[in-house]
């Protein structure tokens, strides 16, 4: 087991239409035994970053370390890693047993040792009954386990996984999430996992590294990322439904106030640090669960009209028109029922709002906390 470190890692691809910057100055440390998820939309550079660790892509500049070894110039086979591919990369002409044994046979390990290790892995993954079968005749859940088995059998220092659950159906994906998390906990191996699915990232990882356009946006625990997004991108990318985002003007009276459409919100003491931003346009964000919906006759921060009601069983999502540029999404308990067209009152917890610099997308609150 080992830690993985990225120091100013850059990757450019040369294309006919010029160079494309896929990964831009990534600095990241993955601790020994940590489960870190690289999260971001398609084309954000997360898979390229992972492939650079594996040696399947070469970094244009910067250094990558696995443990104390700089691995930039090492061949993939010399890095002591295991890679689980999105499409599993199982050999269709080999049985499940031979697929799992492949890495060991490639290293000419004795037959007895190969048999023993394959049996161990199969037992752990509960795939002993399919060892004689061909992988392409198996359901995708079992193919996934075989791919995992092949990765585990070598007992590598680092596991690299490239969206391994993408091809599974929703219920199987949920099961595999739990199993993978358990497996990583049991093995204690460092794991770098790429996904675009925030549920996977939030539920499985110790820490998440969010990427966009090749740039590392934020690294933190799932709750840090969710509760304290440092950029506008992270705020909008994490959370379902996405964070409500509107332009707002900050003004100073007796208290610092945010004006969003018809909404006037007095900011809490923390936000008073933002003196330099007063009277400027900023992006105002609030998560749907931090807006409370109630009947129109109760004291509220702002009044609105219900546009759409989406009952999801355990909660209901309302789209409420408050006269601003876009409607607010509000999460409510299923027992609170408001009909489309109904006037409602909304209150917003001022401690739970997010403010971002409009030009750079950087969190003003994070900047204020740093300054404080």
91 lines the binding site for another protein (CB under 8 A): yes
54 lines the binding site for another protein (CB under 8 A): yes
CA distance 213 to 342: 42
Q: Which range of residues in 80-88, 246-254, 330-338, 357-365 is near another protein by CB under 8 A?
A: 80-88
Cis peptide leading into residue 241 (ω within 30°): yes
Q: Please check whether residue 364 is in contact with residue 348, taking contact to mean a CB–CB distance below 8 angstroms.
A: no
193 lines the binding site for another protein (CB under 8 A): no
**Helices 96-106 and 140-152, axial angle in degrees (round to 10):** 20
Q: How far is the CB of 165 from another protein (least distance, A)?
A: 17
Strand duo 190-195 + 158-162: pairing? parallel
CA distance 302 to 322: 7
Q: How far is the CB of 16 from another protein (least distance, A)?
A: 13
Strand duo 35-39 + 316-321: pairing? unpaired
Binding footprint of another protein, residue count (CB under 8 A): 27
* Beta carbon nearer to another protein, 78 or 351: 78
CA distance 54 to 193: 12
155 lines the binding site for another protein (CB under 8 A): no
Instruction: Output the six-digit token pair for 143.
Output: 């193919």
CA distance 367 to 317: 32
* Beta carbon nearer to another protein, 94 or 236: 94
55 lines the binding site for another protein (CB under 8 A): yes
* Beta carbon nearer to another protein, 53 or 243: 53
Q: Which range of residues in 94-102, 267-275, 304-312, 354-362 is near another protein by CB under 8 A?
A: 94-102
* Beta carbon nearer to another protein, 55 or 350: 55
* Beta carbon nearer to another protein, 90 or 216: 90
Reported as type and span, the H/E element at residue 193 is: strand 190-195
* Beta carbon nearer to another protein, 91 or 203: 91
56 lines the binding site for another protein (CB under 8 A): yes
* Beta carbon nearer to another protein, 122 or 208: 122
DSSP letters, 196-216, are: S-HHHHHHH-SEEEEEETTEE
CA distance 235 to 227: 9
By three-state DSSP, how is residue 72 classified? coil
107 lines the binding site for another protein (CB under 8 A): yes
134 lines the binding site for another protein (CB under 8 A): yes
Q: Which range of residues in 71-79, 228-236, 242-250, 261-269 is near another protein by CB under 8 A?
A: 71-79
**Helices 96-106 and 111-125, axial angle in degrees (round to 10):** 130
154 lines the binding site for another protein (CB under 8 A): yes
| Residue found by looking up tokens 């509760």 in the block | 227
167 lines the binding site for another protein (CB under 8 A): no
Q: Which range of residues in 69-77, 221-229, 273-281, 307-315 is near another protein by CB under 8 A?
A: 69-77
Q: What is the DSSP letter of 238?
A: S
Q: Which range of residues in 81-89, 204-212, 244-252, 290-298 is near another protein by CB under 8 A?
A: 81-89
* Beta carbon nearer to another protein, 150 or 287: 150
By three-state DSSP, how is residue 78 classified? helix
- Is the Cα torsion angle 27, 43, 227, 257 positive or negative in sign? positive
By three-state DSSP, how is residue 76 classified? helix
* Beta carbon nearer to another protein, 41 or 77: 77
87 lines the binding site for another protein (CB under 8 A): yes
46 lines the binding site for another protein (CB under 8 A): no
Instruction: Output the six-digit token pair for 167.
Output: 């091809």
Residues near another protein, by CB under 8 A: 54-56, 75-79, 81-83, 85, 87, 89, 91-95, 102-103, 105-107, 134, 150, 154
């Amino acid at each position: 087991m080992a830690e993985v470190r990225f120091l100013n890692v850059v990757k450019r691809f040369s294309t006919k239409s010029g160079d494309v910057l896929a990964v831009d100055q990534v600095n990241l440390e993955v601790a020994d035994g940590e489960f870190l998820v690289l999260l971001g939309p398609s084309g954000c550079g997360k898979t390229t970053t992972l492939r650079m660790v594996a040696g399947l892509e070469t970094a244009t500049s910067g250094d990558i370390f696995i443990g104390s070894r700089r691995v930039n110039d090492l061949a993939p086979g010399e890095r002591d890693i295991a890679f689980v591919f999105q499409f599993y990369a199982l050999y269709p002409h080999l049985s499940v047993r031979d697929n799992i044994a492949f890495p060991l046979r490639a290293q000419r390990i004795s037959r007895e040792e190969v048999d023993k290790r394959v049996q161990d892995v199969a037992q752990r993954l509960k795939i002993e009954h399919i060892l004689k079968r061909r992988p392409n005749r198996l359901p995708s859940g079992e193919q996934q386990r075989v791919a995992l088995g092949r990765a585990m059998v070598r007992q590598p220092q680092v596991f690299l996984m490239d969206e391994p659950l993408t091809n599974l159906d929703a219920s199987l994906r949920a099961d595999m999430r739990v199993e993978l998390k358990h497996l990583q906990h049991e093995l204690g191996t460092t794991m770098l996992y790429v996904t675009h699915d925030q549920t996977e990232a939030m539920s499985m990882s110790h820490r998440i590294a969010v990427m966009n356009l090749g740039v590392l946006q934020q690294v933190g625990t799932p709750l840090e990322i969710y509760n304290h997004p440092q950029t506008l991108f992270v705020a909008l990318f994490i959370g379902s439904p996405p964070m409500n985002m509107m332009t707002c003007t900050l003004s100073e009276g007796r208290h610092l106030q945010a004006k969003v459409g018809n909404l006037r919100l007095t900011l809490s003491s923390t936000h008073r640090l933002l003196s330099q931003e007063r009277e400027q346009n900023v992006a105002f964000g609030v998560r749907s669960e931090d807006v409370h919906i109630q009947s129109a006759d109760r004291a509220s921060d702002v009044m609105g009209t219900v546009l759409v009601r989406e009952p999801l069983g355990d909660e209901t999502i309302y789209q409420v028109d408050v006269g601003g540029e876009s409607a607010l999404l509000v999460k409510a308990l299923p027992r609170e029922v408001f009909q489309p067209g109904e006037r409602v009152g909304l209150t917003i917890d001022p401690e739970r709002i997010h403010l971002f610099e409009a030009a750079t997308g950087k969190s003003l609150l994070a900047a204020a906390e740093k300054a404080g």
